[in-house]
Chain A
Amino acid sequence: MDLQIRIDPPRGDSQRVALAGRLDTHSYDELDRRLAPVLASDIRSLVLDLGGLEYISSAGVRSVFKARKALAARGGKVVVANPQPQIAKVFDIVKAVPMNEVFASVAEADAYLDAMQQKVLRGEDDD
């Protein structure tokens, strides 16, 4: 129940969503509901800032999977930034996102996404 969700306005084709509290079987529904319009928009990357997240259950991991699947369908990505150690451990075990897409800070995540975008742009230039 006590999950706080903060959805920042989109920046370019990237959007940041900060989560705090507990993402479990009681609160994943709320996250799915709030994320639905974000995923339905035309963003290409979603940065989940988990700095304030204290606990994630398998139901919560499922929500992350769903977001990944939704974005992957159009070539987008979900990256995770700033997880607390116990959350990072869960992500490590469950592989909710590829380990190279878990970052210690939001800045690192942004830098990674920028680099990805540059690569895509160069790729297009090459074409």
Chain B
Amino acid sequence: MAQHSEGSAADAQTDAAHGIADDGVRWHRSLRTRLLLWTSLGAAALLLAGTWLIYANARELLVAQSRHEIRSLAEQGARTLQATLGSVTVSAQTLAASVRGIGYAPRELDAVLRAAVEGDPDIAGAMLILEPGALADADPEHSWYVRRDGDSYYVQPMRYEGYDYHDQPWWPRTVGGGKAWWSEPYRNNATGGQYFVTYNLPLRRTPGGAPVGMVSLDVPVQRLRDLVGASATDDAIQRMLLSPERQYVLHPQAALEMAASLDGQARQPAYRVLQPLLDAVRARRDGELEYFDPRNGGNRMTLVRPVGDSGWTLGLSVSESYVLAGLKRTARQVLIGGLVAIALMLLLLQLVARRITGPLASLTDSARHFDAGEFDRPLPHTARRDEVGLMARAFDHARGSIKAQMAQIEQMAMARQKLDSELSIAREIQLAMLPHDRAVTHGGRSLRAQALLEPAKAVGGDFYCLFERDDALWFAIGDVSDKGVPAALFMARSITVLEIAAGRAATPAQALREAGMRLAANNDACMFATVLCGCVLLDSGEWSMASAGHEPPLLRRADGSAEFVALASGPPLGIETDAVYEVWHGLLQPGDALVAYTDGITEAFDAQQQAFGSERLLQHVRECTDPARLCACVVAAAHAFAGGAPQSDDLTVLALSLSATTAEVA
């Protein structure tokens, strides 16, 4: 981790040097940190898993091995003990047979006893007791005890002043019981303070007869302990020797020796687990037990083996923690070694990661220059043959692409500008096609024509035209389908065709029919125009009108009332080649006005897609008191209604108002 913080500190300094510390990568988000973190976590996990696997397998193996070892040791120990104890019993029987053969001859008997002690290093002392008349009827009582005492022998009779062997517990057990037996360990003056165990054998005059005395042989407890291997105290395998009464003769805890028994220990709550062992010992059979040892807090395996039929028991015990200590040490070393290896690997990775993220940082720096519009700055690392090189080349390519696209955008902007300027010229030309407002005075009356046209785009499809012919003012208002450039072109054609047709026709209906035929010819685009065409006679005020699919005009009377002129319309121009239109007639009085419009007015939509509609149009025409401002009123009302909603269509209003001239009045 120290490596990381150093690295990020170095990065921060580098970033600060570039003046971009504020958006540098935080250390915990850095790819380098993540790479190192995940690699080390993965390696550590692998190390742990591997060590655990080896540990578990080796442990099983070791435990099995130690089990096997302790068993064979137990067999071996039991055999050795049995051999020793067996040799003592054979010696006792030999001694008894010799005594029977010698008969009552104290000197010889003494020699035999001494020879029994002398001949067997396992035997420390020998005793012979013959009751009166034991071997021959006249024999006196004889008792003698010989014990090795250094290089000489200690001897004593077994009945003397103040001591009688008849009073000792072992006498009735041997003679009364009639069976050979091993004593418990004991010590007294006669043993010289050493612990002995004694093999007691009843002596009979004839086989099957009643015991008439006994022989016994003493074995030093130390001798048995040596045989079992008591001296090896730091051995992994602990040894125990149990007397026939299951007293601890040998025990890893020296304090228990000659002082405690397995029975007593198994009665303690902490050692209840030992009960199965006790049962096995009592039943004189092999026993094995694995249990939790409260003394050292580890698992322990103990097994017991009876030593022949001597009543003695050998116990061996091994602690699992002892068996596994070496393994644990090894595992610890493996772990430490592995961690050191991981640390080294991290160091190496840190160096590698620096080589990867370094180029990334310089590429990022280059990208920032793109941001500032510096596209000509050369990119580093493009020649590398690794992933960084790939990325650098991709960057380089993107840079080229961006440059090309920017050039393209610039071109398009220029083209757009050109188009805009062309459209603006087109608009001027289109507006120039429209006639100016005019007033015609004739016979004391003045007919005033005014119009207002607002295209939705630069150019549009709405149009109107006015011209005088034979004391009549002809007018037409039209709306070409759709809007924009196509509509504008069709509008230009329509206005020309209409002016020619109106210049020749007798009635507005004829004018529409002729214009329609011309416009429908070769009209593959299916463009069309709705047109209202009419003329007003200047002297009488009579008007005639015909409609090619156009909105009905309004008639506003001098008294302020207004209504739609309900005239039946024919098909729009451009579709039908032989349409027939009806002419409608009426009369304009001074103060009256005819108002024609396109659907840009009635279909001006507000933000909720509500249309301005005919009723509102009618209302605003009625309310407009100044005939000279009729067009402006209507257009302003439509705009006010639409509010902020964009104008959806071209809108046009044409008003013809008749007034009595002041000259006439005068």
Contacts and interface: CB of A to CB of B under 8 A. Distances in A.
B569 interface: yes
A117 interface: no
B287 interface: no
Given A69-B526, A93-B530, A95-B570, A62 B550 contact: no
B609 to A, nearest CB: 8
User: Considering residues A24, A58, A65, A69, which has the most beta carbons from chain B within 10 angstroms of its beta carbon?
Assistant: A58
B122 interface: no
B482 A93 contact: no
A116 interface: no
Contacts of B570: 95
A93 B551 contact: yes
Main secondary structure of the interface of A (DSSP, over half): helix
B528 interface: yes
B455 to A, nearest CB: 13
B649 interface: yes
A97 to B, nearest CB: 10
Interface in A46-69: 55, 57-59, 61-62, 65-66, 69
A57 B456 CA distance: 14
A36 interface: no
B184 interface: no
B603 interface: yes
B364 to A, nearest CB: 42
B517 interface: no
Nearest to A68: B575
A66 B549 contact: no
B479 interface: yes
B572 interface: yes
B571 interface: yes
B483 interface: yes
Contact of A58 (B482, B547, B571): B482
Interface in B492-539: 526-528, 530
B66 interface: no
Contacts of B648: 24-25, 57
A66 B483 CA distance: 17
Interface string B273-313: 00000000000000000000000000000000000000000
Given A25-B483, A93-B569, A62 B549 contact: no
Contact of B550 (A55, A57, A66, A93): A93
Interface in A17-44: 22, 24-25, 28
Contact of A95 (B481, B482, B551, B569): B569
A121 interface: no
Given A66-B526, A69-B526, A61 B481 contact: yes
A91 to B, nearest CB: 10
Given A58-B481, A62-B481, A65-B575, A95 B528 contact: no
Nearest to A62: B481
B599 A58 contact: yes
A22 B552 CA distance: 23
B349 to A, nearest CB: 57
Interface residues of A, number: 16
A65 B528 contact: yes
A27 to B, nearest CB: 12
A120 interface: no
A95 B549 contact: yes
A66 B527 CA distance: 9
Nearest to A86: B611
Given A57-B603, A57-B649, A65-B575, A94 B482 contact: no
A42 B322 CA distance: 100
User: Considering residues B549, B599, B611, B649, which has the most beta carbons from chain A within 10 angstroms of its beta carbon?
Assistant: B549
B571 A94 contact: yes
Contacts of A55: 609, 611
A93 B547 CA distance: 9
B343 to A, nearest CB: 65
Main secondary structure of the interface of B (DSSP, over half): loop
Interface in B81-105: none
Nearest to A65: B526
B526 A58 contact: no
Interface in B538-597: 547, 549-552, 569-572, 575
Contacts of A61: 481, 528
A62 B482 contact: yes
Contacts of A22: 609
Contacts of A62: 481-482, 526-528
A94 B603 CA distance: 15
Contacts of B569: 93, 95
A19 B569 CA distance: 26
A41 B298 CA distance: 94
Given A65-B575, A93-B530, A95-B572, A59 B482 contact: yes
Given A93-B551, A94-B549, A58 B575 contact: no
Contacts of B547: 93
A116 to B, nearest CB: 20
A58 B529 CA distance: 9
Interface in B113-155: none
A114 B527 CA distance: 31
Nearest to B571: A95
A15 B482 CA distance: 27
A73 to B, nearest CB: 11
A83 B253 CA distance: 114
B572 to A, nearest CB: 6
B526 A94 contact: no
Nearest to A92: B569
A95 B548 CA distance: 9
Nearest to A2: B609
Contacts of B609: 22, 55
User: Considering residues A22, A57, A66, A94, which has the most beta carbons from chain B within 10 angstroms of its beta carbon?
Assistant: A94
A95 B550 CA distance: 10
Contacts of A94: 530, 549, 571-572
Contacts of B551: 93
A87 to B, nearest CB: 12
A61 B570 CA distance: 15
A58 B550 contact: no
Contacts of A25: 482-483, 648-649
Kindly list the 4 A-B residue pairs having the minimum CB-CB distance in the complex, ordered from nearest.
A95-B571, A58-B481, A94-B549, A59-B482
Given A57-B599, A58-B480, A93-B549, 12 more contacts: A28-B482, A55-B609, A57-B482, A58-B479, A58-B530, A62-B482, A62-B527, A66-B526, A69-B526, A93-B547, A95-B570, A95-B575
26 contacts: A25-B649, A55-B609, A57-B603, A57-B648, A58-B479, A58-B480, A58-B481, A58-B482, A58-B599, A59-B481, A59-B482, A61-B481, A61-B528, A62-B481, A62-B482, A62-B527, A65-B528, A65-B575, A93-B530, A93-B550, A94-B530, A94-B572, A95-B549, A95-B570, A95-B571, A95-B572
